[in-house]
C-alpha cells in the first residue's frame, strides 16, 4: 500500500514538474520566435540600406563592367590597377599631381581612399594628417593602355 501511494506521489510530482518545464520551454520558444522575427526585419532593413548605399558602386554596375569587358579588359585585374595607379601618385616627389591644395610644411597631401563609381568616375579622399578633403575625378584608358586622370571637382574641409 505504501509503495502504491509513494508511486502515485512520485508520478504526480513528475507530472507537475514536467508540465512546469514544458510551460517554461514554450514561453522561451515564443520569445525566441518573436526575437527571430525582429532579427529578420532588421536584416531586411539592413539589406535594403546596403543596396541603397551600393547603388553607385563599380562592382554592382553591370553596364560599367560590360564597358571594360567589351574592350577586352579583365575587370578583376583592372579595378586594383586603377586604384594602385592613384595610390602610386602619392609617391611622386613634390606636391601631389592631382590634389590642388598645398599641405603644411613637412607634410604631404596623400590620397587615402578611392572608390570607383563607374567606368568613368572616381571619388577619393585625401589628407595631410591635419587637413582633409575629397576629389571627384574622371579617368580614361588611352589607346596605349595608359591611365589618365582628370580632376573635375575638389574641396577641402574647413579646419576647426
> Domain check: are 75 and 121 in the same one?
yes
> Domain check: are 41 and 101 in the same one?
no
> Domain check: are 89 and 139 in the same one?
yes
> Domain check: are 34 and 82 in the same one?
no
* Cell numbers at 160, concatenated: 576647426
One digit per residue, the tens of pLDDT, for the chain of length 160 reads: 889 889 999 999 999 999 999 999 999 999 999 999 999 999 999 999 988 887 888 888 889 999 999 988 898 898 999 999 999 999 988 888 999 988 877 788 999 999 999 999 999 999 988 889 999 999 998 888 889 999 999 999 987 6
> Domain check: are 74 and 122 in the same one?
yes
> Domain check: are 29 and 97 in the same one?
no
> Domain check: are 79 and 148 in the same one?
yes
With the C-alpha atoms ordered 56, 58, 61, 67, is the resulting torsion angle positive or negative? positive
* Cell numbers at 65, concatenated: 563592367
> Domain check: are 62 and 139 in the same one?
yes
Those residues whose C-beta lies under 8 Å from the C-beta of residue 81, and which sit 6 or more positions away, are: 147
SS3 of the chain: helix, strand, coil, percent, to 5: 50, 20, 30
User: CA Rg, the chain, in Å?
Assistant: 31
Q: Quick one: residue 106, left, alpha or beta (phi over 0 = left, psi -120 to 50 = alpha)?
A: left
Report yes or no: 118 and 56 within 8 Å, Cβ to Cβ. Answer: yes
pLDDT reported for residue 107: 85
Number of domains forming the structure of the chain: 2
> Domain check: are 66 and 48 in the same one?
no
pLDDT reported for residue 61: 86
* Cell numbers at 30, concatenated: 515564443
Domain end call among 37, 53, 69:
53
Q: Which domain holds residue 2?
A: 1-53
pLDDT reported for residue 108: 87
> Domain check: are 78 and 34 in the same one?
no
> Domain check: are 62 and 117 in the same one?
yes
pLDDT reported for residue 50: 86
pLDDT reported for residue 60: 84
CA distance 27 to 37: 16
* Cell numbers at 89, concatenated: 601618385
Is the pTM higher than 0.75? no
- What's phi and psi for 114, nearest 5 deg? -125, 135
pLDDT reported for residue 55: 80
CA distance 141 to 148: 6
> Domain check: are 137 and 82 in the same one?
yes
Amino acid at each position: 500500500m505504501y509503495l502504491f501511494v509513494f508511486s502515485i506521489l512520485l508520478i504526480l510530482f513528475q507530472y507537475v514538474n514536467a508540465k512546469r518545464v514544458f510551460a517554461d520551454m514554450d514561453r522561451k520558444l515564443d520569445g525566441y520566435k518573436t526575437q527571430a522575427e525582429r532579427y529578420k526585419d532588421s536584416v531586411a532593413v539592413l539589406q535594403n540600406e546596403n543596396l541603397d548605399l551600393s547603388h553607385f558602386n563599380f562592382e554592382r554596375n553591370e553596364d560599367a563592367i560590360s564597358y571594360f569587358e567589351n574592350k577586352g579588359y579583365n575587370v578583376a585585374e583592372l579595378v586594383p590597377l586603377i586604384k594602385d595607379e592613384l595610390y602610386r601618385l602619392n609617391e611622386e616627389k613634390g606636391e601631389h599631381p592631382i590634389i590642388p591644395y598645398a599641405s603644411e610644411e613637412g607634410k604631404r597631401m596623400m590620397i587615402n581612399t578611392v572608390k570607383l563609381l563607374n567606368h568613368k568616375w572616381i571619388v577619393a579622399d585625401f589628407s595631410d594628417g591635419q587637413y582633409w578633403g575629397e576629389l571627384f575625378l574622371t579617368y580614361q584608358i588611352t589607346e596605349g593602355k595608359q591611365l589618365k586622370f582628370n580632376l573635375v571637382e575638389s574641396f577641402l574641409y574647413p579646419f576647426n
